[in-house]
Structure 1
């Protein structure tokens, strides 16, 4: 039986997974139908229903699929999964199914799952990382191709900068930035629109870009079109002249893994206050600032 600690933790991870899905990606609870309906109702009400949660009739069983792929991944969460017990070796039960896949294909996917679960041992969000970081990108690469519209929104159009257009910059933050599809899209869009900037991956996600006003605004619109958890556009505004050590022409799109690297990059550009005054990399900062 799920404890009062385990159930909210499982709902939190399922909610995180659901919010990370892109168009064409699906999460559905599987029968028994009564149990599936119970989990759907609980997940639909999360967050907000954490107090006095009823006891689930059975462990959560869900199916992950994408459009046009014959493979389905069924995941069952053991009753003691999510109570801090991942470190003790409690893992989800994952099976690979598909009416039109060969036995060798099924075994190949099952091996991928097994190897990945071993790598994720001790992770805080095993199911979330298994599905969003490994399985879904691999499914898209194999069945859709990287240019499929189901893996990312339509790419930004490439156009030369308008003459005498204003120079802008933008800052966005999100709960996290992990998806390889999103990271690849950010890199492609920045190149197509001749923007410089960076993405800080992991928790939290931070995105900063700089360039011609029309291109910065198009980039922000494309980012907002993707599915995010707690995405916030901090500002889109005229950029000050850089007082850092390098001009914008010498920079490109880069990725960081630590908040400290974000602060250091903005300091190098002479724009450190734009992140620290919002609470990014500064404990005592005022998060309500909109600079």
Structure 2
């Protein structure tokens, strides 16, 4: 005779629901709460049920307790939350329909002080409410379990730091941490902008452009006369601001001929990025800017003027700009070979 032959009808229904719960979670999220002998009996009962033996046996009454040969009352724990803080739903099933199933939400011992009391109270209130509602369901425990999980998704628990974690956060850095390697440099986005103008003659415009370059940390190269060319390199947001300012001025005709952006990931942050701009090294004020950075001072960008097409072509090519970019930006008819 199988070990399940003495089960009551109530226990057979309990086994069916426990199997449903067990199949809904991973093996680590379900465990029995009992002695090794009780656990063996419970495992055998569920295994026999899977083989179809339970439905054929059973001598207990529908509303009464099982016979003397039946297994002990089921007691199990199911994980409600496997992340910290870990929560468990403890279940003690009755041997008679005259008694209620006992359920309790339990916080894993090491996490108990890290959960806010009002959040646990709210979860337990939800459990009590749902337990009453689920009494007439076919699988009341499964219904309760899924409802509590939904509640936790909608009302996530705050996870308070451990006392020792607080101490670590306020303690002065040790010599070992102070000597550790510095974090990698933050990336800085740079941009280059080249604008064609029908002409660039106005002293007022040229002074304004020079002022913007200095205040916005942008290198500026202006080709005056007919046609005019306005070349800028610097931090992306500053170059964009200069472009907006230029478009707000009065011009006979202007056209954006070239816009390029790239990421600088070297040392020195924004100051280092400004000194790494391709056009920067040919500026008269470049060495002064390098020295300023070495002293921890702000890098001062400048604006320079040139007068001929040959000069601007030479400056862009000497800076290492791709030939296609130079040709397209300046409207050259032939490429350099």
TM-score normalised according to structure 2 size: 0.35
In the superposition, the TM-score normalised over structure 1's length comes to 0.40
Which structure has the highest helix share of the two? 2
Greater relative contact order, per chain length (Cα 8 Å cut-off, separation 6+): 1
Larger radius of gyration between Structure 1 and Structure 2: 2
